[in-house]
Structure 1
Amino acid sequence: MTSAPLLAFGAALIAIIWKLFQGYLVKSPLDNIPGPERSSFWLGNHGDIFNRHAWNFHDRARQLFGPVFRFWGPFASRGLFVYDPKALNSIIVKDQLIYEESRWFISWNKYAFGLGLLSTLGEHHRKQRKLLNPVFSINHMRHMAPIFYQTTHRLRTAITAELEASSADVDVLNWMGRLALELIGQGGLGYSFDTLVAHTHNEFGDAIKGYVPAILNVIILRNIIYPYMDEYIPAKVRRFILDILPFRSVRRIQKIIDDMHSHSRRIFNEKKAALEKGDGAVLHQVGEGKDIMSILLKANMEASDEDRLPEDELIGQMTTLVFAATDTTSNAVSRILELLAKHQDVQDKMRAELVAASPDGEDIPYDTLVALPYMDAVCRETLRLHPPVNMMSRETREDVMMPLSEPIQGVNGETISEIFVPKDTSVIVSIRACNRNKAIWGEDADEWKPERWLSPLPEAVGNAHVPGVYSHLMTFLGGGRACIGFKFSQLEMKVVLAVMLRTFKFFPGKNEIYWNMGGVNYPTAGKDSNKACMYLRLERIAS
């Protein structure tokens, strides 16, 4: 090796070492912001925040330190945990191009899902959303409703058969996961993952459902190590390094990612071939050409050269949409059914409203279904109190002043009305804490009360100007990176509840249900179990 490459390598190595360890040597403007002590010299509060049992840390920290506090990241870096509504407006809307997705989030999702909405930034992201927006409109959701009903009827038949064969509790989470996957398959890809009969499995579906549990075992790789690999090491070398790492957890996540990529490409090629044959071929596919990817592919073919997306990005959108639409919605529906099992009076009111909307038992039309007030109140309240995703990470791309709704007191006793946030600061947007903010929602903010949505909300809710895209909540985020599929998710939830509640009564099962904090929250049978499941007792309602 000549002297020039050696010097370049040495300079790069020194830069990495300085970047890693400067936090231990240099003071930060954030040191005056109150926050918890670091629990690890090397990882700071990373293990406290990203931990499936982290509920107590999150709740205790927000109670002790309020709507903005400093936390310790890896290698003595400082970050901010935020749920102050004025600060959120700055992060999500006003200064959203400064508060970009974290480097680990972008780099890892690019590896895991390809160049979809979860792994692009700025103008690139805007261009992708522009092409996708029309297929998530309300008008298109009306076309989706019959597909959702037909698929949910298959689920009803399958669960009825299970109840007739056994008196055991039903793993509702498993069925809801399979249904959500099939709904995004039919409505999103024009592809059937699951016949919704016992013991059916699909390799693509297995990979999607295995991703969240598997990722929890490689958090340090994903959040800390991989961003540096992505920045400094070529893709082929990165893959070689991952292949030789002697960790079962790394091999498991790689197998899942490889499966997702290969199956997405196969489905894409089938879809593209059908479109090239003409409308007749498309009409014989699942979804009859009304699915999101068929419409997206057509729109992409007709788009200008400037707006057209390359094939790799379309495949990335497929994988991203399937992943994003599966665990989030299925776990949200499961949470609603668990709460209804505990609150029989609420379940009875919802069922009465559904029966009144369609006394003959026929499918409730889209416009009637989405307007049912009590069902809507139950869905909104559950999504407020128990958002499927608790937090999102952002990272400042330049120095910025963060405004506050109310001043806070610094460690040195001074009053702080705005915070100077240095470039490269990690910022955690706490969706759950904002949705439970007592200054906005009142002293009963930590309680599940669907009735709060049936009367005027507290004046503070409107005055707070929370930048969420949905019902003054941060559940689906807001701004340019709001959840593009939130209407799809809402329709899915309401169709499933409309069919299931008119067919079955739900009661608590024998097993304890413990909800774990993850990238997407998920239940297990007790705190010590690692297997995602949620058992309830179901009874068939006589026709």
Structure 2
Amino acid sequence: MALSQTNYCGMVIWLAFKDICLARPLSVLTTCIFVLILATLYLLRACRQTQRTTRIRGPQGTSLIFGLAKTVVDSNITNELYEPWAKEYGPVYKIPHALGKYRLMLWDQKAISHFYARDTSLYHHTPFNKIILPIAIGRGVMGADGESHRRQRKNINPTFNAAAVRSLSSIFQDVAHKAVIAWDAEIESNRGDDCAVIDVQQWMNHISLDNAGIGILSHDFGALDGNGSDVEHVLNAFSASVDPSNSLFILGQTFPSIMKLPWPRTKFSQKLHLTVGQICQEMLSRRRKEKETGGTDERDKSCLGLLLKAEESGETVGLTQREVLDEARILLLGAFETTAVSLTWAFIELGRNPDIQTKLRDECLEFGSTPSYDDLTNKLPYLNAVVNEVLRLHSPVVEVPRAVTEDDVIPLSEPLYTADGKFTDNIYIAKGTEVVIPLAALNRSVSMWGPDAKVFKPSRWFKEDEGTHGTGDMPHGYRHLMTFGNGARMCPGRLFALTQFKTVLFILVRHFMFEMADGAEVQIVKSLGLLPRPSVVGSTEAGCSVPLRVRRYEV
């Protein structure tokens, strides 16, 4: 039987006394007082939440200390657990976390719509994220709430609107063609063979970083030219270093202040913050000098130009200098990581599905010239379907956690059976309760997407493919996807990401054929990292996390 929060509190006190029993008397007294104060505050909060929150059912924890926290951080597992739990316990259920804490999982579409309508105003970042986000990426729009978020979001929206992204299309094309030249060189170097084995993950990192550098900072990192930069190294190392299953990481979500201590994880986050911040500051300083000397040209409409224009508006309606730096850092990080992961998954799925790959190539070849922004949006339906299906099946962001800042009543689209043995059409949650939207699991829900929800099937995006979707209510995000989120925090760079994604895929699939180097049936797992990155289990290619065999396509 799971321990109550009161019993957990008692256990914490007992462990604390056990650890200090050999200490000096004064240390013992001081520590006892500290522990009693901490335990009292924790108990009062726990009792208040227990008394005033609707009693929600949910799975039992597998650990007295960590609940299910070590289980649900692994997206390989949670995508398969969340929907069965929703069927068993109802469309809102609780998952036990560390030290008696729990999180509410929202699976009900009406509840999710309610959440997104109040995101940033009533639902704020969790205390853990409020500490860890500024350490790693600064205090820009991604970490802001309330009025600060609204002001910052209003100022960065023009950097990624349709007109701004349309002007970046040629950059994405140039970078993709540079990748074509590089892959040709790889094949040419294998004399006597008509193919080359590459690590597609590494190449998508190069492409994504060069696109983000030029498109956002007006700076070419030269990743495709083999010019390793400090930014590229720290980004790749940071993605590989994050382990959300680490005990300290999990306990930090219950007692977030411990993340301020100089742990290795915190030091690495600070290094990321500093390294990326330095290159962003350098580019901003260069642009400011150009503006001072009358260098006003089309670059004033670039991402940096628009951020600096917001800076000139003053901090009450625009952005402060610090915020401009933080926004540049966040936009670079977001554009790099999410797109690199999505492109990698695209080549995995096309390598595993040769018929789909051929159909996509035929459409791209038939189109002829390199498509414009508007062409990518309206004239390549199968390319759009493939991209949508990759984003559905492999959402880079797995879930969204928030903490409610005031007591709230969440409406439900269907009655919920509570732990009291009653039915209710709404639930009451107390201030401080943490709520989670499981983006990736919702994208793969059988009730919403049909019995083949976990199958890569681009045809589901065409009306003539009947029976593709289930009978459940569909999410209200982009194309019914949860991938970009929704509401006030819906991803501002989605047009940037989609246009880059489609351009790279269009150009590379026209020039090459590709297959998984270890066979179409090779097992793919998602690593535990900053974002879940795919990797091939037991790859025979040394140094390749996702080995792909590429051949030139000969007409």
Deviation at 1:466, TM superposition (A): 2.5
Name which of structure 1's ranges 217-226 and 102-111 shifts more when overlaid on structure 2: 217-226
Q: 2:475 is matched with which residue: 452, 466, 482?
A: 466
Name which of structure 1's ranges 519-528 and 80-89 shifts more when overlaid on structure 2: 519-528
Q: Report the counterpart of residue 522 of structure 1 in structure 2.
A: 533
Map 1:225-240 onto structure 2 (within 5 A). Answer: 225=252
Q: Report the counterpart of residue 119 of structure 1 in structure 2.
A: 143
| Residues 265 and 333 (structure 1), Cα distance of their counterparts in 2 relative to 1, 3 Å cut | same
- One-letter identity of the residue aligned with 1:70: K
Structure 1 position 214 matched with structure 2 position 221? no
Alpha-carbon distance in 2 for matches of 1:348, 1:72: 46
- One-letter identity of the residue aligned with 1:525: V
Structure 1 position 174 matched with structure 2 position 202? yes
Map 1:127-276 onto structure 2 (within 5 A). Answer: 127-166=151-190, 167-198=195-226, 200-216=227-243, 221=248, 224-225=251-252, 241-242=261-262, 245=263, 248-276=264-292
Map 1:383-422 onto structure 2 (within 5 A). Answer: 383-422=391-430
Q: 2:40 is matched with which residue: 14, 18, 39?
A: 18
Q: Report the counterpart of residue 35 of structure 1 in structure 2.
A: 58
- What's the TM-score once normalised by structure 1's chain length? 0.86
Deviation at 1:315, TM superposition (A): 0.7
Alpha-carbon distance in 2 for matches of 1:418, 1:12: 39
Alignment coverage as a number of residue pairs: 515
Deviation at 1:29, TM superposition (A): 5.5
**CA contact 2:135–2:269 (8 Å) conserved in 1:** no
Runs of 5+ consecutive residues of structure 1 not aligned to the other structure: 1-7
Deviation at 1:541, TM superposition (A): 1.2
Matched residue SS, 1:401: strand
Structure 1 position 430 matched with structure 2 position 438? yes
Matched residue SS, 1:363: coil
Q: Report the counterpart of residue 336 of structure 2 in structure 1.
A: 326
- One-letter identity of the residue aligned with 2:278: S
- One-letter identity of the residue aligned with 2:141: L
**CA contact 2:446–2:470 (8 Å) conserved in 1:** no
Q: 2:373 is matched with which residue: 362, 366, 380?
A: 366
Alpha-carbon distance in 1 for matches of 2:89, 2:398: 18
Deviation at 1:146, TM superposition (A): 0.7
Q: Report the counterpart of residue 5 of structure 1 in structure 2.
A: none
- One-letter identity of the residue aligned with 1:476: F
| Residues 462 and 249 (structure 1), Cα distance of their counterparts in 2 relative to 1, 3 Å cut | same
**CA contact 2:125–2:402 (8 Å) conserved in 1:** yes
Identity of aligned residues (%): 26
Alpha-carbon distance in 1 for matches of 2:388, 2:376: 14
- One-letter identity of the residue aligned with 1:344: P
- One-letter identity of the residue aligned with 2:224: L
Alpha-carbon distance in 2 for matches of 1:184, 1:412: 52
Deviation at 1:62, TM superposition (A): 4.2
Matched residue SS, 1:206: helix
Q: Report the counterpart of residue 533 of structure 1 in structure 2.
A: 545
Alpha-carbon distance in 1 for matches of 2:36, 2:323: 36
- One-letter identity of the residue aligned with 1:421: I
Q: Report the counterpart of residue 9 of structure 2 in structure 1.
A: none
Q: Report the counterpart of residue 3 of structure 1 in structure 2.
A: none
Map 1:269-308 onto structure 2 (within 5 A). Answer: 269-279=285-295, 288-301=299-312, 303=313, 306-308=316-318
**CA contact 1:23–1:76 (8 Å) conserved in 2:** no
Q: Report the counterpart of residue 16 of structure 2 in structure 1.
A: none
Alpha-carbon distance in 2 for matches of 1:531, 1:396: 44
**CA contact 1:171–1:534 (8 Å) conserved in 2:** yes
Q: Report the counterpart of residue 26 of structure 2 in structure 1.
A: none
Alpha-carbon distance in 2 for matches of 1:487, 1:42: 43
Matched residue SS, 1:411: coil
Q: Report the counterpart of residue 20 of structure 2 in structure 1.
A: none
- One-letter identity of the residue aligned with 2:205: G
CA displacement 1:373-407 (0-9 Å, x = unmatched): 11111111221122111111011111111111212
Matched residue SS, 1:502: helix
Q: CA RMSD in A?
A: 3.1
Runs of 5+ consecutive residues of structure 2 not aligned to the other structure: 1-29
**CA contact 1:90–1:96 (8 Å) conserved in 2:** no
Q: Report the counterpart of residue 480 of structure 1 in structure 2.
A: 488
Deviation at 1:538, TM superposition (A): 0.6
